[in-house]
Each structure stands twice: as C-alpha cells, then as structure tokens.
C-alpha cells in the first residue's frame, strides 16, 4: 500500500526502521558490514523505499577501533553511563573551580577509562578481532573524547561510530565543547570602546550633575562585571586545559605501560630461548660423549673379534696336529690292509700342507 506523503506516523516508522537496521549493521564485525549494508539497501529499494535505501547506503564501514567502541557501548551500558556522568561532574567541578573534586574525579576517570579500554580489547579478542596497539590507542582516544565533550559522548553512546573520536584540545568547562577564543575578554573591550573615558574635570568647569556621576558609576560596575566574567572564562579554560593535559598524560602513561609490558614479555621469551639453547647444547655435549663411548666400545669389540678369530685358528691347527699324531701312532692287527687307509690320509694331509 502506498504511503501518504507528509504523514508524521510514516516518518516515525521510517526513522524506527532505519535505527533498527543501523543498530544491526554496526553490531556486525567490520569484515561483514559492507555486504550486509548493501543487501539491506537493495531490499529497501526493491520495496520501493528509495529514501531508506539511500540512508542505509550512506552508512560507513567502521574501523576496528570504532567497532570495538560500539561493542563496548552495547556490552557495558552501566559503565558507559558512569563515564558520561563522571564527565558531567568534572565539568561542574571546573565551573566551581573545586580543585579537590577535580583531582578525585580525574583519578576515577583514569581508572574507569583504563578498565573500559581493556574491556573493549577483551570483547574484540573473543570475536576473533584482536586490537593492535594503534587500535587500542584509538579506543582510549574515543573514551577521552566522550568524557570531555557532551556531543562526542552522545555520538559514542549511539553505538554507531564509523571512526574513532579525538578529544578536543581545549574543552570548555561549561559545555565540554571547544571554546571560541575570540570571546575571551571581548565583551570587556566592546563595552569599554562604546563610550569614551571621562576626562578629568577642569578647575574652571562647574561640577558635573549627579545623573552623570551615577551613569559613570553604573558603567564602571558593568566593566567590573565584564572583567570578572572574562577572568572566570579564562579560569574555566585553564581548568579545562589541565583536564586535557591530564588525559594526554594518562594516554602516554598507558602507552608506556603497554610498552613496558611488551618489553618484559620479550625479555622473558628471550630468557626462555636462552634456557632452551643451553639445554640443547648440554644435550649435544652428552650425545657427543655417548657417541665417543659407543665408538670406543665398537673398536674394543672389533679387537676382541680379531683376537677370537686368531684363537680359533690356533685351536683348529692344534686340533689338526693332535689328530695327525693320533693317526700316525696307531697300530692295528689288520696288517697292511688296515694301514693303507691311514697312510693315505697322512699323505693327503702332508700334500695339502705343502700346497
């Protein structure tokens, strides 16, 4: 059925449909985003909703750091609310110039930011999308931006980041957004230039009327208020600059901690490799000694075999001599017929010995 043009209920339905599709797409890993987005856009186009198809097609594929930040928003909503509420408290402390609260809130902020960054890395690792050191730095930068800037916080809390966020260099304590530099003290200069300064009264001139004195006093009070307001804005900007510097310092400390951890891991791995090398060298030395002992035993066995062979040959020769003696000294009653075989054997052995 065709939709009625200009219907408020249809617009709300379109918005709800788009929000549902966008939330589903930004839940997917980055590698699956583009194909799923194009499929959704094509489906909306087939259904005749070209406006919805155009909006879906305009969605950008998230970087890995942005996707991990989105996953954190969905998995840890309570911690997200704590971080955003902490940012509001810190901005109020800036406005009140409450140094004690500023320090306490900054410490809570550092702890919570570090924990959330680790949680984002864990969530990414569970889905087979491990974060590099650069991606981890971008996640921390996004958390810092959400903490310092209400607009960045709202963008992050939507769970649809396509790119990581960067914290403002000098957030305003009142609004959390970058404060225009031109406003600082400008009100004082404009009011001071709107009317010329009164010149000292000349002795010959009559005294000024009371109305003129009241106007000058009112103008002086306005200028004093303007100067106080400008000084307050300057103090707020300075406090915000301190918060930004603390955030940058925390990022540097976190990066340094990660570097130290990697260095320690590398040192332990190197020590393990050295132990393995030492064990391998010991095993090689033991194997060489075993090989030498086996070679010595083999040579000894060969010498024993040669000795045994010589002994066997001597024993055989001795046996032959004994057999010859026994045959030569034998006498028999059989006469010549009985001696013939013996004499033949004797001559045969002698002939073999001569050969």
Q: What is the pLDDT of residues 177-233, one digit of tens each?
A: 444 333 333 333 333 334 444 444 444 444 555 556 777 888 888 888 888 777 766
Judge whether 282 and 187 are in contact, CB under 8 Å. no
Which pLDDT belongs to residue 136? 92
Average pLDDT, the chain: 76
Judge whether 42 and 53 are in contact, CB under 8 Å. yes
With b meaning 16 or more CB within 10 Å and e meaning fewer, what string describes 259-282? eeeeeeeeeeeeeeeeeeeeeeee
Judge whether 75 and 97 are in contact, CB under 8 Å. no
* Distances in whole angstroms, Cα of residue 167 to Cα of each of 117, 148, 160, 171: 15, 7, 18, 8
Q: What is the pTM of this model?
A: 0.47
- Structure tokens of 142? 């996004």
Which pLDDT belongs to residue 138? 93
Per-residue pLDDT of 136-164, as tens digits, reads 999 999 998 888 888 888 899 999 999 99
The three-class DSSP label of residue 111 is: helix
Per-position DSSP letters for 43-65, written without gaps between them:
HHHHTT-HHHHHHHHTPPPPPHH
Q: Is 185 left (phi over 0), alpha (psi -120 to 50) or beta?
A: left
Confidence of residue 175 (pLDDT cuts 50, 70, 90): very low
The three-class DSSP label of residue 171 is: strand
Per-residue pLDDT of 37-54, as tens digits, reads 999 999 999 999 999 999
Distance CA 185, CA 41 (A): 51
188 or 241: which carries more pLDDT confidence? 241
* End-to-end alpha carbon distance in the chain: 126
Of 138, 125, 234, 132, the C-alpha closest to 179 is 234
Distance CA 210, CA 216 (A): 10
Confidence of residue 247 (pLDDT cuts 50, 70, 90): low
Distance CA 55, CA 21 (A): 10
- Structure tokens of 36? 């799923």
């Amino acid at each position: 059925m065709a939709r009625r043009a200009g219907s408020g209920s249809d617009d709300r339905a379109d918005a709800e449909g788009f929000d549902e599709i966008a939330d589903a797409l930004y839940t997917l890993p980055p590698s699956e985003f583009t194909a799923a987005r194009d499929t959704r856009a094509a489906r909306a186009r087939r259904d005749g909703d070209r406006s919805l198809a155009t909006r879906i097609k305009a969605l950008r594929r998230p970087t890995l750091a942005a996707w991990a930040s989105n996953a954190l928003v969905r998995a840890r909503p309570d911690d997200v609310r704590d971080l955003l509420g902490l940012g509001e408290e810190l901005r109020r402390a800036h406005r009140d110039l409450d140094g004690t609260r500023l320090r306490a809130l900054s410490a809570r902020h550092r702890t919570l930011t570090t924990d959330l960054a680790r949680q984002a890395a864990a969530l990414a690792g569970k889905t087979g999308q491990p974060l590099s050191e650069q991606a981890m730095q971008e996640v921390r930068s996004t958390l810092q931006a959400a903490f310092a800037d209400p607009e960045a916080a709202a963008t992050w809390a939507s769970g649809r980041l396509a790119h990581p966020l960067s914290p403002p260099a000098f957030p305003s304590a009142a609004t959390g957004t970058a404060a225009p530099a031109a406003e600082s003290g400008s009100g004082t200069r404009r009011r001071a230039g709107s009317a010329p300064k009164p010149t000292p009264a000349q002795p010959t001139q009559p005294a000024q009327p009371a109305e003129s004195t009241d106007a000058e006093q009112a103008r002086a009070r306005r200028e004093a208020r303007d100067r106080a307001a400008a000084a307050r804005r300057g103090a707020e900007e300075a406090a915000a600059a301190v918060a930004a510097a603390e955030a940058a310092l925390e990022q540097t400390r976190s990066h340094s901690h990660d570097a130290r951890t990697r260095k320690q891991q590398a040192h332990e791995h190197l020590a393990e490799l050295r132990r393995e090398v030492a064990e391998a060298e010991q095993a090689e030395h033991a194997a060489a000694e075993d090989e030498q002992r086996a070679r010595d035993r083999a040579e000894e066995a060969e010498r024993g075999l040669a000795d045994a062979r010589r002994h066997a040959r001597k024993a055989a020769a001795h046996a032959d001599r004994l057999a010859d003696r026994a045959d030569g000294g034998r006498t028999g009653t059989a006469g010549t017929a009985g001696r013939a075989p013996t004499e033949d054997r004797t001559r045969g052995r002698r002939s073999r010995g001569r050969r």
